Amino acid sequence: MNKIKEWLNSPKFQRNIKPEIIRTFAVIFFTIIYGIGVTWFLEASVIPMYTGGIPGIAQLLRDFMKFTLGLDTSGWEGLFLGSFIIISNIPIMLLGWFGVSKKFVIYSMISVIIQATMLGFIPSLDLGLSSESQALTATILGGILIGVGVGGALKYGTSTGGLDIVAQYLSLKKGKSVGFISMVLNIVTAFLGGLITAPDLISRGVLPGVTQAMAAAGIVISYTILRLIITTIVTDKLHTAYQFTMVEIITNDPREIVSDIISKIYRGVTLINVQGGYSKQDKTLIKVIISSYEFTTLHQLINRLDSKAFIIVTPVKNVFGNFKKRTIA
């Protein structure tokens, strides 16, 4: 028992193994939250709503086959959704494997498998949201859960796959973000989904008083865009992977902290001699600029070396000069 405790407290476990265990549990937990938001809320709503990225495209193609082509998808709908999510992510995973980070792709693969399982094979739970009057509730709660899933995964240095990997690649290689492209893709998905499902909504009388296809389509598009806005806000509140942060650390012993920042986070630091206004003791102020997804690692590092260190975190709009972007994992 003592050997187990010693191993758990060893530098090797604390620095190399524990962070990976936390990331693994984080990607599993937050992907499940994401899956619940899609399966039990968006999919359960009487008014069709679409999630973003690859799963959203899978939903769109399923509805196209069901409502436009008139195919009976009841026996293989789940298999189609799950298979499409996995197959469509294969080229994206290859892009990430060779162009971003192998570790990042491994975590993303775990997330994709969980997504495919939940969206394709986990039955929708009846939470009383299957009426038109509850569509807004389904939109809000689904949007919040999807935002928590995506933002939480990024916060712990993982991702939910798909466009997150493309975003990392373009950010690292081209200095560009796919945020705008992702937004356009989601809006196009919502627009096409509205056009595809509108005739079915009218024929079933889901929207009382709505008899025109464009009006029904507009309702579907509006709910999906509202879901997208809610998800974006929640994701940004939890975490935004491509923002920068300035961290100021006031400590009595900066040597190990500086050494670990340089050797483990690979960031340069600036040291300033300061004095405590109350204690009159000489201290050191360490200033470092990091990408926001690196803060969890930095915070753990500081707490391990100096639990009494005073830490100030400030958002940074832009960084110029010798600052290299890193992969999330």
- C-alpha separations of 165 from 12, 77, 276 in Å: 29, 27, 45
- Tens of pLDDT along 14-29? 767 777 888 888 889 9
Place of tokens 């980070």: 101
The 10 Å Cβ neighbour count of residue 123 is 9
**Hey, what domains does the chain have and what are their CATH numbers?**
2-238 (no CATH), 244-316 (3.30.70.120)
> How far is it, in rounded angstroms, from Cα 49 to Cα 31?
19
| Nearest C-alpha neighbor of 282 from the set 271, 293, 273 | 273
Q: Which helix (H) or strand (E) holds 179?
A: helix 179-203
pLDDT in tens for each of the 329 residues of the chain? 677 777 777 777 776 777 788 888 888 999 999 999 998 898 888 888 888 888 888 999 999 999 888 888 887 888 898 899 999 989 888 887 887 677 778 888 888 898 888 888 877 777 777 777 788 899 999 999 998 988 888 777 677 777 767 766 666 666 555 556 667 778 888 899 889 998 888 888 777 777 788 888 888 899 989 998 898 888 877 765 556 789 999 998 888 899 988 887 788 899 999 988 888 889 999 999 887 767 877 888 888 888 889 999 988 877 776 666 555 55
- Tens of pLDDT along 25-79? 888 999 999 999 998 898 888 888 888 888 888 999 999 999 888 888 887 888 8
Coil, strand or helix at 199: helix
> How far is it, in rounded angstroms, from Cα 136 to Cα 143?
10
CA 244, distance to chain mean position in Å, is 17
* Spatial contact of 305 and 324, defined as CB atoms under 8 Å apart: no
pTM of the model: 0.75
